[in-house]
């Protein structure tokens, strides 16, 4: 009995709540098995062991639990979570997706998109807002018209502006069943260029516009963002261009400068050189509208219509390549454009992601004399991605709004 009481006091000393009465063995005494009295309020009640089991037995592991355990052991370790993409990376990815979607959508969908973006129309011409990444003609379209089929796709299998012009023409006439009107592309506009694009309603109007263009009576002004600040801030670039092959690991063709003058041996003047027979005269007027963060908003007015002449003149003549121009940022290779750290920081981009940056060339103004004698003047608002880049680079528009 005394041993039982010593045990009880020892347990109480260590903070255990044990109920016992003088002359009665404590309930948890192993030497004195007796019926345990009811527990007081606040005491925990132990779960009763299942019939046929012992208190010291471990719970049995079910087959399904064992299978799940084996699967977890065989599963490869989880890869480290990648950091969430920045806002700029999301924007570039979205632009890439949008460009591919517009090229792959049904012709009726693209035609509706172009119809909503009509900037001007009369009985002779239509001016539309060309979206990013959509070619004017398919790969097989070398003339004024691209051969299209009944499904609206051209011979290249891609959706182009030329391939949806029959549908767009019907939309312009209110979807009249007996409408026989047509639309023809007049002037060139690159796939990655956005903005005002001129269409003619007849082949006669096409010839009229081409005559105006040959006589430099069609004014087209483009707004571009350049990497670097042109010096001087305004001028005329009059350097012929020529297409040449670039050798190396990835042979390709691109336009290059073919100047008529070069620096003489003494370095104090220039010497006229013989003109290359395959070179084409090219002249581009330029004017810096604003500059900040090592970049510029520049207005370009091509006086000739040679292939890629604005891109070549900016990159090679002024050493201020257009932002997103991955073709002409390097004269002797094909590689994504290399941007200064300061510009990358402003754009919130890493150099490894720069290949997704689109070309920042926008056809802003179009001016010409229509066949009826009236002057046509059209301005096209900047696309969203262009405005966002201006904001990130802290470049302001001349009129303060768009």
Q: Could you report the per-residue pLDDT of 62-99, keeping only the tens digit for each? A: 777 777 787 777 776 665 566 777 776 777 777 777 66
Q: What's the pLDDT at 141? A: 39
Average pLDDT over every residue of 183-196: 94
Question: Percent of the chain beyond pLDDT 90?
Answer: 50
Q: What is the 3-state secondary structure (H, E, C) of the chain?
A: CHHHHHHHHHHHHCCCCCCCCCCCCCCCCCCCCCCCCCCCCCCCCCCCCCCCCCCCCCCCCCHHHHHHHHHHHHCCCCCCCCCCCCHHHHHHHHHHHHHHHHHHCCHHHHHHHHHHCEEEECCCEEEEEECCCCCCCCCCCCCCCCCECCCCCECCCCCCHHHHHHHHHHHHCCCCCCCCCCCEECCCCCCCCEEEEEEECCHHHHHHHHHHHHCCCCEEEEEEEEECCCCCCEEEEECCEEEEEECCCCCEEEEEECCCEEECCCCCCEEECCCCCCCECCEEEEEEEEEECCEEEEEEEECCCCCCHHHHHHHHHCCCCECCCCCCCCCCCCCCCCCCHHHHHHHCCCHHHHHHCCCCEEEEEEEEECCCCCEEEEECCCCHHHHHHHHHCCCCCCCCCC
In a domain, 118, yes or no: yes
Q: In terms of domains, do 157 and 298 share one?
A: no
Least confident of 12-21, 242-251, 306-315: 12-21
* Residue 235 CB contacts under 8 Å (≥ 6 apart), including other chains: 285, 286
Q: In terms of domains, do 187 and 303 share one?
A: no
In a domain, 245, yes or no: no
Average pLDDT over every residue of 270-284: 89
In a domain, 382, yes or no: yes
> What CA–CA distance (Å, rounded) separates 390 from 323?
11
pLDDT tens track for 15-72: 444 444 454 555 555 554 444 555 544 454 444 555 555 555 666 667 777 777 877 7
Last residue of a domain, one of 160, 183, 215: 215
> Average per-residue pLDDT in the chain?
81
Average pLDDT over every residue of 331-340: 89
Q: In terms of domains, do 167 and 233 share one?
A: no
> What CA–CA distance (Å, rounded) separates 16 from 339?
73
Q: How confident is the model at residue 279 (pLDDT cuts 50, 70, 90)?
A: very high
Give the residue, 360 or 83, on which the prediction is more confident.
Answer: 360
Q: Angle at Cα 305 formed by Cα 354 and Cα 102, nearest 5°?
A: 45
Q: In terms of domains, do 234 and 179 share one?
A: no
136: which 2 tokens?
């004017």
Please state the domain count of the chain: 2
Q: What's the pLDDT at 352? A: 86
Least confident of 10-19, 93-102, 381-390: 10-19
CATH number (domain holding residue 149): 3.30.70.580
In a domain, 359, yes or no: yes
Q: In terms of domains, do 182 and 226 share one?
A: no
* Residue 339 CB contacts under 8 Å (≥ 6 apart), including other chains: 227, 347, 349, 351, 354
Q: In terms of domains, do 309 and 209 share one?
A: no
CATH number (domain holding residue 320): 3.30.2350.10
In a domain, 5, yes or no: no
In a domain, 10, yes or no: no
> What CA–CA distance (Å, rounded) separates 311 from 327?
9
Q: In terms of domains, do 194 and 225 share one?
A: no
Q: What's the pLDDT at 164? A: 93
In a domain, 332, yes or no: yes
Q: What's the pLDDT at 267? A: 75
Q: Which of 146, 117, 119 is nearest to 131 (CA)?
A: 117
Average pLDDT over every residue of 91-109: 76
Q: In terms of domains, do 201 and 162 share one?
A: yes
pLDDT higher than threshold 90 for residue 400: no
Q: In terms of domains, do 231 and 194 share one?
A: no
Q: In terms of domains, do 182 and 229 share one?
A: no
Q: What's the pLDDT at 261? A: 82
Q: In terms of domains, do 235 and 363 share one?
A: yes
- What range defines the domain where residue 98 resides? 86-215
Average pLDDT over every residue of 224-231: 97
240: which 2 tokens?
């012929």
Give the residue, 2 or 224, on which the prediction is more confident.
Answer: 224
Q: In terms of domains, do 360 and 327 share one?
A: yes
Q: How confident is the model at residue 7 (pLDDT cuts 50, 70, 90)?
A: very low
In a domain, 285, yes or no: yes
Give the residue, 23 or 364, on which the prediction is more confident.
Answer: 364
Give the residue, 173 or 64, on which the prediction is more confident.
Answer: 173
Give the residue, 142 or 307, on which the prediction is more confident.
Answer: 307
Least confident of 60-69, 138-147, 197-206, 242-251: 138-147
Radius of gyration, CA atoms only, the chain? 38
């Amino acid at each position: 009995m005394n041993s039982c009481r010593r045990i009880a006091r020892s347990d109480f000393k260590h903070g255990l709540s044990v109920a016992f009465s003088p002359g009665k063995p404590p309930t948890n005494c192993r030497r004195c098995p007796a019926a345990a009295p009811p527990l007081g309020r606040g005491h925990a009640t132990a779960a009763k062991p299942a019939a046929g089991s012992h208190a010291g037995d471990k719970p049995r592991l079910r087959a399904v639990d064992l299978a799940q355990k084996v699967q977890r052991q065989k599963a490869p370790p989880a890869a480290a979570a990648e950091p969430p993409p920045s806002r700029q990376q999301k924007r570039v990815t979205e632009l890439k997706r949008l460009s591919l979607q517009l090229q792959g959508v049904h012709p009726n969908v693209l035609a509706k998109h172009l119809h909503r973006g009509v900037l001007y129309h009369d009985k002779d011409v239509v001016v539309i807002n060309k979206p990013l990444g959509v070619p004017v003609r398919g790969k097989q379209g070398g003339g004024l018209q691209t051969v299209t089929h009944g499904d609206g796709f051209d011979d290249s299998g891609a959706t182009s502006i030329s391939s949806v012009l029959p549908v767009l023409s019907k939309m312009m006439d209110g979807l009249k069943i007996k409408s026989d009107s047509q639309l023809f592309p007049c002037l060139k506009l690159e796939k990655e260029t956005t903005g005002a694009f001129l269409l003619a309603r007849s082949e006669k109007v096409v010839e009229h516009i081409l005559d105006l263009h040959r006589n430099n009576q069609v004014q087209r002004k483009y707004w571009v963002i350049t990497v670097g600040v042109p010096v001087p801030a305004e001028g005329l670039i009059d350097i012929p261009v020529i297409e040449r092959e670039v050798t190396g690991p990835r042979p390709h063709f691109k336009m290059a400068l073919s100047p008529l003058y070069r620096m003489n041996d003494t370095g104090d003047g220039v010497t006229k050189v013989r003109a290359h027979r395959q070179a084409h005269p090219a002249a581009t007027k330029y004017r810096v509208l604003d500059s900040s963060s090592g970049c510029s908003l520049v207005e370009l007015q091509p006086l000739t219509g040679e292939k890629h002449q604005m891109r070549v003149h900016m990159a090679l003549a002024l050493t201020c390549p257009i932002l997103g121009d991955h073709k002409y940022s390097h004269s002797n290779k094909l590689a994504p454009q290399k941007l200064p750290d300061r510009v990358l920081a402003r754009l919130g981009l890493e150099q490894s992601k720069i290949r997704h940056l689109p070309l920042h060339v926008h056809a802003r103004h179009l001016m010409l004399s229509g066949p009826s004698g009236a002057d046509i003047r059209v301005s096209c608002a900047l696309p969203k991605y262009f405005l966002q880049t201006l904001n990130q680079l802290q470049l302001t528009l001349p009129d303060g709004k768009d």
